[in-house]
Amino acid sequence: MTSIGTGYDLSNSIFSPDGRNFQVEYAMKAVENGGTSIGIRCKDGVVLAVEKIITSKLLKPGANKRIATVDRHLGVVSSGMLPDGRHFVDRARDEARSWRDNFKTPITTADLASRMGNYLQAHTLYQSVRPFGITAIVGGFDAQEESPVDGEVGNGPSCGAGGKNPDKKYGGPFLYMIEPSGLYWGYYGAATGKGRQAAKAELEKLDLTGEGITLEEAVKEAARIIYVAHDDSKDKEFELEMSWISGKDGPTKGLHQEVPKALREEAERLAKKSLDDSDDEEEEKKDGDKMEE
Amino acid sequence: MDHRPQAWGRPRDDVYGAYDGSYLNNSGPRTVTQSPVVTGTSVIAIKFKDGIVMAADNLASYGSLARFTDVKRLRTFLGTTVIGFGGDVSDMQFLDRHLEELAVDESYEAEPTIDEDDQEAKKASQLNAGNIYRYLQKLMYQRRNSFDPLWNHILVAGFDSASKPLLGSVDLRGTSFTSPSLATGFGAALAQPIMRKYAATEEDAAKLTREQAVGVIKECMKVLFYRDARSLDRYSIAIVTKDGIELKEDEQLEKQSWAFAERIKGYGTQTV
């Protein structure tokens, strides 16, 4: 960054002459130091996973969750500054609640991403605030079936204007990633934090855009990707935290929930195994090279 | 010109007399919420050995007019608790949304960090029917103390923290009690004596089978339809057990017999 020290990096709300907002770029640096988070959108749900670096042996295993539930069908995970992530979740919960107050219906994933995108963008405009030091991944499953509004007591008309169309499918699984600048896109697979490059490379190998993969496959892939992404920085221990969201007829019944212990442990076992296998292959290759020599 | 804002746009005092602002002084109690408008009639419930059966008909009356005939007055909470509402339907909707908000708050709580396979501990960490019952009691009492009651009589059915069946009642004044069988509204006079025949005490209720309990409830719903002019023959019935809630919302009263009506004299346009 050649423009460092020119005075344009001291505040939000001031552009550098070449059109950059340095504070936002520094915020992204904060994200790049955080533990890897990923999200996978599969055909029947969404999986969120995070590499939770253990900063002290005195922390209780499994405590201090990093993935949060916003509304019942929405989950958020973020990389970067943890307190900023907490505030992001608080704000997202407020947004989801006010949406329910106004419209008597759960907020859609897209609408929540939009609201939160706007909120983060607002933090790039004023001197009095700093941008968020996080990139957040928002996953959700919007109800696919005709669902009643909150507090609805009757059936409503069965046909005609305002009537029901039982065959029509709404919603589905959605995944968004929101960056410190307020930029947000919808993704099939999203990764952020320290290991994002490796994670993205792995995500691109999955068939997410075409046929799609199943939720259970996605859980296993997510665990594997977090292990792969961690591989580069062997310095610290980490815990794997995973959550998933399926539709009404799936394993979580439309709710955002932690992946059950048994399934998570199985996924971790497979992840470790695949890592060992690939290590062996590399070693074999090396051995092979040597032999040729 | 008179620069006081309260005089702007007003007829001149010297011509029309001083402005009478007395209607703005609402020092008296608010009265708009102190009478129900669209109402539901009785809710009835009885315990049996594995749980609780609750029923309420699908009618919302506007005074004596049978205004809405597909109103679901049994609401579920967290898939473990059934709440039946008698009284004002808009207040019921308010409470339903309020409870929905509580359920969402409940989902924020991360899974307990205790062993995930320990189902008992997991259950204990979740809001149960006992919590909802006491919460509603406090809410209703607080509202009655602010002279703004929620015009409902509520039955709560589910399991308490000791996993025992719980059936409780809360009324618009915050009065609350539990019993092996409960009924609100007209049901308190018409259905309660019938249910007491089968379950006068907790011990009696613990001997009832599910089929017997459902039979008693159906019988009571029939009697209520015979005698309560604000009732309907379509009703909802919920069965709460440890396995969850079975809620049927469009049941029809069966095997009605109006033979007794022949003997009733002295009403309507009847002259004999």
Tell me if B116 and A97 make a contact (CB, 8 A cut-off). Answer: no
Would you call B247 an interface residue with chain A, using a CB distance cutoff of 8 Å? no
Average pLDDT over residues B63-71: 95
Report the residue from A65, A93, A153 with minimal CB separation from B71.
Answer: A153
Kindly identify which residue of chain A lies nearest to residue B59, measuring between CA atoms. Answer: A154
Q: Which residues of B touch A104 (CB under 8 A)?
A: 97
C-alpha radius of gyration, chain A, whole number: 21
Q: Does B89 touch chain A (CB under 8 A)?
A: yes
The answer as to whether B111 is a domain residue is yes
Query: Per mean pLDDT, which of A91-100, A273-282, A284-293 is the most reliable?
Result: A91-100
pLDDT for res B11: 79
Express as a percent the part of chain B with pLDDT over 90: 71
Cβ contacts of B72 on chain A, cutoff 8 Å: 153-154
A224-238, B37-51, B251-265: which has the minimum mean pLDDT?
A224-238
* Mean pLDDT, residues B11-35: 77
Does residue B108 fall inside a structural domain? yes
Which of B83, B107, B116, B122 to probe by mutation at the A interface, max A CB count within 10 Å?
B107
Confidence of residue A2 (pLDDT cuts 50, 70, 90): low
Our count of domains for chain B comes to 1
Determine contact: B117 vs chain A, CB below 8 A.
yes
Q: Which of A229-243, B128-142, B188-202 has the lowest mean pLDDT?
A: A229-243
Residue B8 lies in a domain: no
In a domain, B151, yes or no: yes
Catalytic residue, candidates B33, B41, B80, B241: B33
Where are the strands (E) in A16-171, listed by range?
Answer: 37-42, 45-53, 68-69, 74-80, 134-142
Measure Cα distances from A243 to A15, A40, A139, A140, A219 in Å. 39, 11, 10, 11, 9
Q: Are the Cβ atoms of A97 and B107 closer than 8 angstroms? A: no
Interface contact A261-B70, CB threshold 8 A: no
Chain B residues with beta carbon closer than 8 angstroms to that of A69 = 107-108
Amino acid A219: pLDDT: 97
pLDDT in tens, A72-129: 999 999 999 999 999 999 999 999 999 999 999 999 999 999 999 999 999 999 999 9
> How many angstroms separate the CA of residue A64 from the nearest CA in chain B?
9
Q: Do the domain assignments include residue B267?
A: no
Q: pLDDT value at position A232?
A: 58
Q: Is B119 at the interface with chain A, CB within 8 A? A: no
Question: What pLDDT is stored for residue B114 in this prediction?
Answer: 46
Smallest CA–CA separation between B113 and chain A, in Å? 6
pLDDT digits (tens, 9 = 90+) for B214-253: 999 999 999 999 999 999 999 999 999 999 999 999 999 9
Q: Does B97 touch chain A (CB under 8 A)?
A: yes
Residue B15 lies in a domain: no
Is the model's pLDDT at B113 over the cut of 50?
A: no
CA distances from A169 to A164, A172, A242, A250 (A): 12, 8, 28, 16
Q: Choose the closest CB to B100 out of A60, A63, A150.
A: A150
CA distance A32 to chain B (A): 26
Asked if B97 and A96 come within 8 Å (Cβ–Cβ), the reply is no
A150 to chain B: closest CA residue: B97
Mean pLDDT of chain A: 90
Closest Cβ opposite residue B89 in set A60, A150, A153: A153
Min distance A70 CA to chain B CA atoms (Å): 7
A151 vs B93, B107, B110: nearest CB: B93
In a domain, B260, yes or no: no
B25 confidence band (pLDDT: 50, 70, 90): confident
Nearest-CB residue to A155 (from B70, B96, B108): B70
Which one of B70, B94, B113 has the shortest CB-CB distance to A154?
B70
- Specify the pLDDT at position A109: 97
Which pLDDT does position A1 carry in this prediction?
53
- Chain B CA closest to residue A63: B113
Is B108's Cβ below 8 Å from some Cβ in A? Answer: yes
Query: Inter-chain contact A72–B110, Cβ cutoff 8 Å?
Result: no
How would you write chain B as a 3-class SS string?
Answer: CCCCHHHCCCCCHHHHCCCCCHHHCCCCCCCCCCCCCEEECCEEEEEECCEEEEEEECCEEECCEEEECCCCCEEEECCCEEEEEEEEHHHHHHHHHHHHHHHHHHHHCCCCCCCCCCHHHHHHCCCCHHHHHHHHHHHHHHHHHCCCCCCEEEEEEEECCCCCEEEEEECCCCCEEECCEEECCCHHHHCHHHHHHHCCCHHHHHHCCHHHHHHHHHHHHHHHHHHCCCCCCEEEEEEEECCEEEEEEEEECCCCCCHHHHHCCCCCCCCC
* Predicted local confidence at residue A148, as pLDDT: 85
Residue B10 lies in a domain: no
Q: Between A and B, how many residue pairs show a Cβ–Cβ distance under 8 A?
A: 52
User: Which domain, by its residues, includes B210?
Assistant: 38-253
Would residue B33 show up in a list of annotated catalytic residues for this protein? yes
- Decide if A151 and B116 are in contact by the 8 Å CB cutoff: no
Q: Which of A224, A239, A237 is nearest to A275 (CA)?
A: A224
B262 interfacial to chain A (CB closer than 8 Å): no
Residues A210-242 as b/e (b if ≥16 CB within 10 A, e otherwise) read eebbebbbbbbbbbbbbbbbbeeeeeeebbbbb
In CATH, what number is assigned to the domain containing residue B78?
3.60.20.10
Instruction: Look at residue B217 in the predicted model and tell me its pLDDT.
Output: 97
> Whole-angstrom Cα distance, residue A293 to residue A280?
20
Strand partners, A239: A52
CB A102 within 8 A of CB A35: no
Q: Between B104, B113, B117, which is nearest A62 by CB?
A: B113
Tell me the chain B residues in contact with residue A97 when contact means C-beta distances shorter than 8 Å: 101, 104
Dump pLDDT digits (tens) for A18-70.
899 999 999 999 999 999 999 999 999 999 999 999 989 999 988 889 999 99
Question: pLDDT per residue over A197-249, tens digit each?
Answer: 999 999 999 999 988 899 999 999 999 999 999 865 566 889 999 999 999 99
Whether B104 contacts chain A with CB within 8 A: yes
Q: Which amino acid is at B170?
A: V
